[in-house]
Structure 1
Amino acid sequence: MQDYYRLLGVDVTASAAEIEQAYQRQKNRLSRRTADPAMQARLREVHTGYEILAHPGRRLAYNVLLAQEPLPELPPDPMAQLMARYAPAARWLNAALVAFCLLLALDWALPGQEFAGETVLIRQIVSVSAAASDPQMAYDVTTPRTAFRVPSRYGHRVRKGMRVTVSQTPLLGVVRRISAPPTAPGEPAIFKASGGNIYGSFSPLLGVLLVVATLGVLPGRSPEMRVNTAVVGFLLAVVALVVLIWF
């Protein structure tokens, strides 16, 4: 069905005066090009629309018929289709990230494992600073059951052949503390390893990751939110893994 309101360029609620003005405007514009057959056909349609909409009874009947017309189908949004396609996988990824955060929290909360009398088998000096102007060194230490890194200021406490007590988390084996006999007055018997920062200064990162991933898992979320939270959560998880392994 022809939409005469749209043809005349007026709203459905237009008054009779507005319809009259729109008709005259269209008529004057099209009359200047009456030699064109297409413009002649368009002028006839405009005149027909005016005759219907200018008459109250015809306009009422036309409005009833127009209301029964089905709404035109909008073309599908490619981006919305893409989001809907990847939303299920994104939700599973978010669920895996939530499980990852809970695993780290459980690893931190459970009582740690303690290995007493571990003999230092290997002590290798490594650089832990990328700036040549501020070189910083540390020691990678290997014992029969553990491997960890200590700051250079504690290197003399973990020489090859020495015995130390190592405390690490029960699930992921992140070394938290080392105990060795002091070699000078005032030295602490227990000192921290260079690792375990994911449970220390970087712990807020896990909180943000848990919040983001949880938002992507909750029911009733839009596909776009599920995909966006999965992308952000994955990037945060990569950073968390780098901190866990490297630092």
Structure 2
Amino acid sequence: MLDYYRLLGVDFTATQAEIEEAYQRQKARLSRRTADPAMQLRLQQVHTGYEILGNPGRRLAYNVLLAQEPVPEPPADPTQLLLARYAPAARWLNAGLILGCLLLLLDWALPMRTFPNEEVLVRQIVSVSSAASDPQMAYDVTTPRTTFRVPSRYGHRVRKGARLTVSQTPLLGVVRRIGVPPTSPGELPEFKASGGNIYGSFSLLPGVLFIVATLGLLPGRSPEMRVNTAVVGALLAVVALVVLIWF
């Protein structure tokens, strides 16, 4: 059913004078283009609308019929449709990120595996800084059962052929501590390897990742919330992986 209020350009509560004024305005505008068949049809519809709305009795009956018309649903938002499409995958990603954090927690909590009397087979110097103004070096060390990186300040203690005690996590095999006899007074018999920083100075990162992923996995969350937390969680996971491998 045609909405004559919209056709005439008046509100539902318009007075008879406002309806009369709107009709005359539409009639004057459309009468100048009567050669166009579409404008002729529109002019006829405007005239019919005025005959209905300009008569109080017919207007009341029309209002009753108009109220019974179903309200058209607004067009779907393409962005919301896209978010709803990817929300299930985002939920699974959040679940995977939570499992990854729990794996890190379990790897940290379990007793470390210790390999005594490991011989240094390879010691290769590597650059760990991209800034030419502040070059920093480290050593990649290989023993019969482990591979790890140590800061350059400990390079003199892990020379090729040296005997070490290597402690690594039981699940992910992250080398956290190196035991080697001191070579000079004041040196400690044990120091940290570079790869254990995910459990040390960067330990806050998995905690933040766990919170973000949990927020996206809770029931009742909107598709937008699930997708946004999955994206942020994935970025944090990439950073955590870089820390785990590089630092």
- Is the structural similarity TM-score above 0.5? yes
How far did 1:35 drift?
Answer: 4.2
Q: Deviations over 1:96-122 (max 9, x none)?
A: 011111111222233322222322222
How far did 1:70 drift?
Answer: 2.2
CA RMSD of superposed structures (Å): 2.1
Q: Deviations over 1:205-231 (max 9, x none)?
A: 323322222222111222232223222
TM-score, normalisation: structure 2: 0.89
Is 2:194 the partner of 1:204? Answer: no
Change (3 A) 1:26 1:189: same
Cα distance between partner residues in 1 of 2:176 and 2:47: 87
How far did 1:75 drift?
Answer: 4.3
Change (3 A) 1:163 1:37: closer
Cα distance between partner residues in 1 of 2:125 and 2:89: 44
Q: Deviations over 1:155-204 (max 9, x none)?
A: 12122232222222222111111121111111122211112222233333
Number of the residue aligned with 2:16: 16
Unaligned runs of 5+ in 2: none
One-letter code of the match for 1:239?
V
1:49 aligned counterpart, secondary structure: helix
Number of the residue aligned with 1:31: 31
Number of the residue aligned with 2:141: 141
How far did 1:22 drift?
Answer: 1.6
How far did 1:76 drift?
Answer: 4.0
Is 2:193 the partner of 1:193? Answer: yes
Unaligned runs of 5+ in 1: none
How far did 1:74 drift?
Answer: 4.4
Number of the residue aligned with 2:156: 156
Q: Deviations over 1:22-74 (max 9, x none)?
A: 22221222233344443333222212212212222222211111122223354
Number of the residue aligned with 2:54: 54
Cα distance between partner residues in 2 of 1:88 and 1:35: 56
Cα distance between partner residues in 1 of 2:179 and 2:204: 28
Number of the residue aligned with 1:63: 63
Number of the residue aligned with 2:215: 215
Number of the residue aligned with 1:44: 44
1:148 aligned counterpart, secondary structure: strand
Cα distance between partner residues in 2 of 1:153 and 1:43: 90
Cα distance between partner residues in 2 of 1:208 and 1:20: 66
One-letter code of the match for 2:180?
A
TM-score, normalisation: structure 1: 0.89
One-letter code of the match for 2:246?
W
How far did 1:8 drift?
Answer: 0.7
Q: Deviations over 1:135-158 (max 9, x none)?
A: 322211222222211111111212
Does 3-12 or 56-65 show the bigger shift? 56-65
Cα distance between partner residues in 1 of 2:140 and 2:210: 31
Number of the residue aligned with 1:80: 80
Number of the residue aligned with 2:125: 125
Cα distance between partner residues in 2 of 1:183 and 1:35: 104
Query: How many residue pairs get matched?
Result: 247
Does 27-36 or 87-96 show the bigger shift? 27-36
Cα distance between partner residues in 1 of 2:87 and 2:120: 50
How far did 1:2 drift?
Answer: 1.0
Does 18-27 or 3-12 show the bigger shift? 18-27
